[in-house]
Amino acid sequence: MITRAKKREFIEDIKRANWYEVPMTGFSECAKCGQCCLKNACACVPEDFDDLSVKGIEKILDSGKYMICAFYGNASMPNGIPIEALPVITAREVGCPDNGIYITMLHSKCAMLGPNGCKLSEDERPSQGLLLIPDGKGCKCYLDAPTDFWREHWDALDEVIKKRTGKTCQELFEEELRPLATSIKRAIQMAVLYGGSISYQEFMTAEAMKRLGVFYGLFGKKLGEVMDDFIDWVDVRPVK
């Protein structure tokens, strides 16, 4: 049961706007499936929390249930990077450091997924995870990448990131991007040229890089076009 009033109102507003479909707000179907949770953690919105001051955000991270990650927008950034990294809070993923800061495009399964489904109560569970419509293969969600909901909290989130890592969200993202893109480029080339497949997470990261123009920005137009074509041909290993 959702007891936080502003969270309950947010969920109900989204449901009313999509009255023609009935979302899943319980956990029983997740316990049977878990496919979404194996791919990445679901995203929170500010209405999920009572205190989003710097101190409040640190308390949220210290619970071990959540992390700060980044969603991405197209922007002309220095060093040829065509992406702006925008901080948001999500449920914690496997592989997230103890400090709760996980700025990566290569996501992993949700650490809150247990043998009986989501470990979080409805009050604790991110709103994105309360607005899923199961279809037997994964889920459709009313709340896709709620980046802009966090706009007024970006400065506080970035302050926490810098306090805990010594770098901004954008700096951490750019530090990881080139080696990650190079690793994924190599994996895709090997899979396409010599047969084989890549993981679901690698494929989804490659799709995001294609959409955001990463291969063009980092490797130039010619190789960027080759990589965009390769992504359409590569086989994908199922999520495990």
Give the CA distances from residue 18 to residues 11, 21, 27, 43, 141, in Å, rounded to whole numbers and listed in that order.
11, 6, 20, 19, 11
Contacts of 159 (CB under 8 A, 6+ apart): 54
H or E element at residue 70: strand 66-74
Distance, CA of 165 to CA of 60 (rounded, Å):
17
Confidence of residue 2 (pLDDT cuts 50, 70, 90): confident
Confidence (pLDDT) at 26:
53
Confidence (pLDDT) at 132:
76
Confidence (pLDDT) at 110:
93
Pairing of strands 139-141, 197-198: unpaired
Confidence (pLDDT) at 100:
97
Token digits for 7? 């969270």
Q: What is the pLDDT of residues 63-96, one digit of tens each?
A: 999 999 998 876 555 555 557 889 999 999 999 9
Confidence (pLDDT) at 88:
95
Structural domain boundaries in the chain: 5-170, 174-236
Confidence of residue 114 (pLDDT cuts 50, 70, 90): confident
Confidence of residue 58 (pLDDT cuts 50, 70, 90): very high
Confidence of residue 117 (pLDDT cuts 50, 70, 90): confident
Average pLDDT, the chain: 85
Confidence of residue 113 (pLDDT cuts 50, 70, 90): confident
Q: What is the pLDDT of residues 190-240, one digit of tens each?
A: 999 888 899 999 999 999 899 888 888 888 889 999 999 999 999 998 876
The pTM assigned to this predicted structure is: 0.86
Confidence (pLDDT) at 60:
97
Contacts of 42 (CB under 8 A, 6+ apart): 36, 90, 91, 110, 125, 126, 128, 129, 132, 141
Contacts of 57 (CB under 8 A, 6+ apart): 68, 89, 156, 157, 160
Per-range mean pLDDT, top range of 18-22, 94-98, 116-120: 94-98
Confidence (pLDDT) at 186:
94
CB count within 10 Å of CB 197 equals 16
Q: What is the pLDDT of residues 152-183, one digit of tens each?
A: 999 999 999 999 999 999 999 989 988 999 99
Distance, CA of 112 to CA of 107 (rounded, Å):
14
Q: What is the pLDDT of residues 131-151, one digit of tens each?
A: 877 666 666 776 777 788 899
C-beta separation of 228 from 220 below 8 A? no
Token digits for 197? 């497949």
